[in-house]
Amino acid sequence: MITTILSVLLLAIVALLALSIYRTRRVAAEAVHLVPQAGEIVPVAGGTIHYVDLGPKDAQTLVMIHGLSGQLQHFTYALAGLLAQRFRVIVVDRPGCGYSTRESDALAAPSEQGRMIGEALDRLGVERPVLVGHSLGGAVSLAMAMDRPDRVGALALLCPATQHEDVVPEVFKGLLVKSPAVRRLIGATIAVPMAAATKDRVLGIVYHPETPSEDFMIGAGGALGLRPEAFVTASSDVVALRDVGKTQSARYEDELRVPGGILFGASDVILSPAVHGHTMQAHGLEFEMLEGRGHMIPLTAPQDCAEFISRMAGKVG
């Protein structure tokens, strides 16, 4: 009797896993159909960088680097077009995100992601750009500014992750999976169906107190987050940032010399403006806030962001 019950339970588990795998593959295929590759691919050591190149090629260059679980459409949705009237705007998918790739989870550290993006920029002949980093993209931008200071002109950071924090925001705790093998098992089975089922609640939290963009899934590329590789990338990003965040922030005092500033939504519930913005004034960066705005200001306040970025671009010597 016990053997029969165990057999039935095992068959049920196998069936549920098979169904999850089927749903994952179906949703992932639909995501690629809804949000196809938008730009070009540059091979770099450890993977590839997917980028879109907008605006006049002889103008001052901005390089835009998105945040956790994002893709370059977070910028092309509204902000990049405003800036491309005056600047050359290169918008990238971070390594492992969107249509960029990375060969291992060890490349999730902000310094490694910055190295890969920097190598792509070198191949494109980009010199001393203004780095526009949102959220986790801010941590990557800061790593680039310290690792290659002579090749970065200025920083224009939007709600950036700048400090080490032991506590992961509640909405991202499901990403805190330390084992690469378990990370991939979850990605291939339950992560995508769960993300699809909870996306409205998650977006409500990430955008708070503002309203999520109506066409976030397509226009802002959100559908690309519903793929196994997107979960694996986001999970390894969260773990890597926790592991190296303290080391990176300890470098600011002696190594952060690139000028620039930080713009935060005053009501950001994902990253504290006081912790991640105000503290960076001690390291030479300006700090500004937008009242009534949250974490997703590249999508909700593009005009304010464009004006801020233009001012920071004036700091390039």
Listed residue (118, 5, 126) closest to 55, CA to CA: 126
The number of beta carbons lying within 10 Å of the beta carbon of residue 48 is: 18
The letter for the amino acid at 27 is V
Q: Note whether residue 14 is domain-resident.
A: no
The predicted structure's pLDDT at residue 31: 74
Q: Note whether residue 288 is domain-resident.
A: yes
Domain that holds residue 151: 35-167+245-313
3-state SS track over 274-296: HHHCHHHHHHCCEEEEECCCCCC
The predicted structure's pLDDT at residue 246: 86
pLDDT tens for the 317 residues of the chain, in order: 666 665 555 555 555 555 556 566 676 678 788 899 999 999 999 999 999 999 999 999 999 999 999 999 999 999 999 999 999 999 999 999 999 999 999 999 999 999 999 999 999 999 999 999 999 999 999 999 999 999 999 999 999 999 998 888 889 999 999 999 999 999 999 999 999 999 999 999 999 999 999 899 999 999 999 999 999 999 999 999 988 888 999 999 999 999 999 999 999 999 999 999 999 999 999 999 999 999 999 999 999 999 999 999 999 97
Say how far apart CA 127 and CA 148 lie, in whole Å.
11
Tell me the CATH number at 162.
3.40.50.1820
Q: Note whether residue 200 is domain-resident.
A: no
Q: Note whether residue 19 is domain-resident.
A: no
Q: Where are the beta strands (DSSP E) in the chain?
A: 40-44, 47-54, 61-65, 88-92, 101-102, 130-133, 154-158, 260-265, 286-290
How many domains is the chain built from? 1
The predicted structure's pLDDT at residue 243: 87
Q: Note whether residue 25 is domain-resident.
A: no
Give the total residue count for the chain: 317
Torsion sign (Cα): 306, 141, 122, 52: negative
Bond from prior residue into 56 cis (ω within 30 degrees of 0): no
Q: Note whether residue 3 is domain-resident.
A: no
Q: Note whether residue 104 is domain-resident.
A: yes
Q: Note whether residue 46 is domain-resident.
A: yes
